[in-house]
């Protein structure tokens, strides 16, 4: 019986430990995901303009300011865009996470950028992850198009 209780406590602790964003200060130069050399970095706003003009990006390095990090695991980010909107960053293959301390920092992201139609259900899921109020979640009524970045690697710029 003691072994069963110990196993239950151990597995619960492991699950709770995994459901947290990684600890850390997100200092300049810290790297997450696949390592890459920062080379031709474009501002996210320039990429978005080109995207809306019909351009496609197979792989690009973009710089932007982090506005929000998933409070549950650090598995997605919101980036600031010039028009008051945001871009959503997801990690490739769910392979790495960012600490919440990255909020307010500028980052360079290596990955792909595209426009995506986001369903009401997906928007509500992100709102729940962000610990939004129930009123904010209930206010989501229609699908929207957003800028989506699929990051293979991220470096904290400052």
Give the domains, in start order, of the chain with CATH numbers. 22-156 (2.40.50)
**Cβ–Cβ < 8 Å for 153, 38:** no
Per residue in 51-82, pLDDT (tens digit) is 888 887 789 999 999 999 988 888 899 999 99
Mean pLDDT for the stretch of residues 28-48: 94
For 14-158, list the strands marked E by DSSP.
31-33, 41-43, 57-69, 76-80, 86-91, 106-118, 144-156
Distance CA 5, CA 8 (A): 5
Q: What is the pTM of this model?
A: 0.79
Distance CA 120, CA 112 (A): 23
Q: Which of 111, 135, 138, 112 is nearest to 123 (CA)?
A: 138
């Amino acid at each position: 019986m003691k072994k069963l209780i110990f196993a239950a406590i151990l597995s619960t602790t492991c699950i709770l430990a995994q459901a947290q964003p990684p600890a850390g200060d997100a200092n300049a130069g810290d790297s997450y995901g696949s390592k890459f050399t920062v080379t031709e970095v474009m501002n996210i706003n320039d990429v978005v303009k080109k995207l809306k003009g019909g351009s496609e990006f197979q792989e690009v390095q973009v710089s932007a300011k982090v506005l929000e990090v998933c409070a549950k695991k650090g598995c997605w980010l919101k980036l600031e865009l010039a028009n008051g909107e945001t871009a959503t960053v997801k990690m490739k293959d769910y392979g790495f996470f960012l600490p919440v301390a990255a909020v307010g920092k500028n980052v360079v992201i290596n990955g792909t950028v595209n426009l995506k139609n986001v369903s009401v259900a997906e928007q509500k899921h992100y709102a729940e992850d962000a610990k939004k109020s129930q009123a904010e979640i209930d206010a989501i009524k229609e699908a929207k198009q957003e800028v989506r970045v699929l990051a293979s690697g991220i470096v904290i710029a400052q």
